[in-house]
Amino acid sequence: MEGPGKISSSFFHRSGRGPHKRVRLMPMYSFPHHKDVGNRLGGFPERRYFIHLDFDAFFAQVEQRDNPKLRGKPICVGGAPGYKGIVMTSSYEARKFGVKTGMSVYEALQYCPDLISVPCYGQKYECIMQNVLSEFRKHLPEDCIEQYSVDECFLEVTDVVNDYFQAAKFAWKIKQIVKELEHLTVTLGVSFNKTYAKMASKFNKPDGLTILREENRADIYALPAVKMWGIGKRIERRLNHMGLYTIGDVANSTINTMHKEFGINGVILRKLARGEDTSSISQKVDYQQKNINHNHTLHDAIFTNPEIENEIRRMIEYVSRKLRFKGLVTRYFILTIRYDDLGYMSEKIRLMSYTNDERELFNTAMHLYKKFPEPDIHRKARMFGISVFDLRRDYGVTLDLFRKWLRFPFKEMDILKERYGEKIIRIGVTG
């Protein structure tokens, strides 16, 4: 009944009441990739090759890359200021002490007193992933690339490789691309379906690569069921209750048992465990980006004009780089500053024309800042926020010809920054 090709978008299973009941495969809401599970469950027309990429200790690795003082040290991201935060991730040096995602920084410090807690720069991490994905687009068609989370993506390389050897070579190239572009390490899993590729990428962390062939199924089958994509603690408990402990147990269970306990999701789960995931790369709908927000809370609040100007410039550089990266220009701009005493000021302005020019945005920000009460030693500035909205695609038709200044090499600067870090080049700032 379940040989290759025999099950398409619907299948039969034995029900208590009738001889056979027709069940239509429903979206699998309880699994992370329910939307991807295609209607080809059960059929394997040809061998396919997938790569799953997962950054190592992502946020922490980025912060160590950007601040050499943090390298080789136990750090966690999500803490500052005041050590009241939650650990979002930690460096491998900190993990040795038992620091885990989800702990409070306070608790983590009990495990690792030397732990350095640093703030999270969400937009920066997202930008890194986007840089990497756009580089991949030079090597693979768009519809073979799927961003899965902030630090994970799937690549289908079936069209560019013929066997596992070539798939492994391609995977090494991917690792090299990320290293050269962003100076970061990733761990890759290569397999014949997405579920197995995702599980394979957990095998050799950090900076690893695992090839999981059909004949190595036993490696997956030996893992505890909870290691499977889509199985959390609660489902694990129910599986254990049924006498199923490993992924192999789930794979070798009967359709009926799984269906009785979990409905259609159980049947799909069993298929995923067996390596019969036939889902393809999923293309997210290209939604129109409405705004870009960038907030930064400082560990040490500031109040002098040069410090504030510097912080605003840094924020603007980031936002305008992001606009350019996405090929967008903005018309509305908001600057927010939160002070030490929790008071805050916010001003918005409509720009003369759509732009992503760093100097224009900086001048606008400084113009707004002048309307704010000036911070002083008793009322320092702690958080800076920039929001741009009313975004339009930048069609490249610029009015630069009519502007007083020359075209600045922003794009070239973006490339330098991507390659060598944020601090490599700045406009008109000394020191």
Q: Is 58 in the site for ligand TTP (CB under 6 A)?
A: yes
Which of the listed partners (ligand TTP, Mg ion, none) does 88 bind, with a CB threshold of 5 to 8 Å by partner kind?
A: ligand TTP
Q: Is 54 in the site for Mg ion (CB under 5 A)?
A: yes
Return the number of the residue (52 or 271) whose C-beta is nearest Mg ion: 52
Amino acid at 81: P
d(CA 309, CA 16): 73
Q: Is 121 in the site for ligand TTP (CB under 6 A)?
A: no
DSSP string, 137-163: TTTS-GGGEEEEETTEEEEE-TTT-SS
d(CA 10, CA 40): 9
Residue from the set 36, 63, 93, 151 that interacts with Mg ion by CB under 5 A? 151
Q: Is 154 in the site for ligand TTP (CB under 6 A)?
A: no
Q: Which CA distances in Å does 98 have to 92, 94, 105, 224, 233?
A: 10, 7, 12, 21, 20
Give the three-class secondary structure for 344: strand
Q: Which residue among the candidates 152, 236, 311, 422 is catalytic per the annotation?
A: 152
Residue from the set 11, 36, 49, 56 that interacts with ligand TTP by CB under 6 A? 56
Q: Where are the beta strands (DSSP E) in 229-311?
A: 291-302
Return the number of the residue (120 or 337) whose C-beta is nearest Mg ion: 120
Residue from the set 73, 205, 213, 238 that interacts with ligand TTP by CB under 6 A? 205
* Residue 328 Rama label (left phi>0; alpha psi -120 to 50; beta): beta
Contacts of ligand TTP in 227-246 (CB under 6 A)? none
d(CA 347, CA 236): 51
> Is 152 an active-site residue?
yes
Q: Is 182 in the site for ligand TTP (CB under 6 A)?
A: no
Contacts of ligand TTP in 74-113 (CB under 6 A)? 88-89, 101-102
Q: Is 226 in the site for ligand TTP (CB under 6 A)?
A: no
**Nearest CA to 337 among 365, 364, 378?**
365
Looking at the annotation, which residues are catalytic? 152
* Interface with Mg ion (CB under 5 A): 54-55, 58, 151
* Interface with ligand TTP (CB under 6 A): 54-59, 88-89, 101-102, 150-151, 205-206
